[in-house]
Amino acid sequence: MKRSAYAYPYLLWMALFIVVPLAIVLFYALTDTVDGRLIFTLENFSAAFDPAYVKVFLRSLWMAALATVICLAIGYPLALVLSSRHFKAGKLLLMLVVIPMWMNFLLRTYAWINLLSDNGIIMKALQFFGVENLSLLYNQTAVIVGLVYNFLPFMVLPIYTSLIKIEPNLYEAAGDLGANSFMSFLKVTLPLSVPGIVSGITMTFMPAITSFAVSRLMGGGLVTMYGELIENQFYFMRDWHFGATLSIVMMVLVLISAVLTRNNKNKEGGMLW
């Protein structure tokens, strides 16, 4: 039996659950219903680039990018601490980072709604210190907080995996050559952790820009992201054709981002070697 035969079940799985659904979405995107008749048209794609929808996409892009930067700013130092061989509680704290991922996504988001509400713990604490007339919920800040909390583990884990693979001998060699801790970080730790950083950015940015539950629950309908816009077309407007078109546009943009990220990752990898 040829080794390639072992790939047949996986190819069948891809065909049934990836290729076929994408083909159905593309079919809906390229068609429309006029007077009860199904016609092929490209008008949905031209409508997808209406300034109103472009504005929603740019807002989603900015919020997802900001959430990714915040996740990186928090996740990289955290991964450094967790991967340190001198930090005995690293595995325990890593478990605390992973545990929230075991809970339902919506439950985690609802928990933050309770924390940020007018009667929540955070608001009560701020009022205790004299901060009044502050709205923590149903705005862009609340949505970004929800994105950061839900996707932070996706940033920490790839970076942590890259850091624990760095050989201790490299730090010893850097020290023998006269490098202090800061120079060892710049010359050893940071370059060798670049693949983890790129993977973390990819795994955080892509689900963040397509998220709809966080913007709906923590934005209260006042902060619409592109994923929520697509959901509205399917479930509320019942316009599956235009919803499929927006989905295709989003998928193409995400694929472009993935290709660019992969190319940068390959370039960085070449520089390291």
Q: Domain locations in the chain?
A: 1-41, 51-272
Whole-prediction pTM value? 0.87
Dump pLDDT digits (tens) for 166-224. 988 888 888 888 888 889 899 899 999 999 999 999 899 989 998 888 999 999 888 88
pLDDT band, residue 30 (cuts 50/70/90): very high
User: Is domain 51-272 in CATH 1.10.3720.10, yes or no?
Assistant: yes
- pLDDT per position as a tens digit, 36-80: 888 999 999 999 999 999 999 999 999 999 999 999 999 999 999
Note whether 204 and 151 are within 8 A (CB). Answer: yes
The pLDDT of residue 269 is above 60: no
Asked whether the predicted pLDDT for residue 124 surpasses 60, the reply is: yes
CA gap 119, 70 in Å, rounded: 27
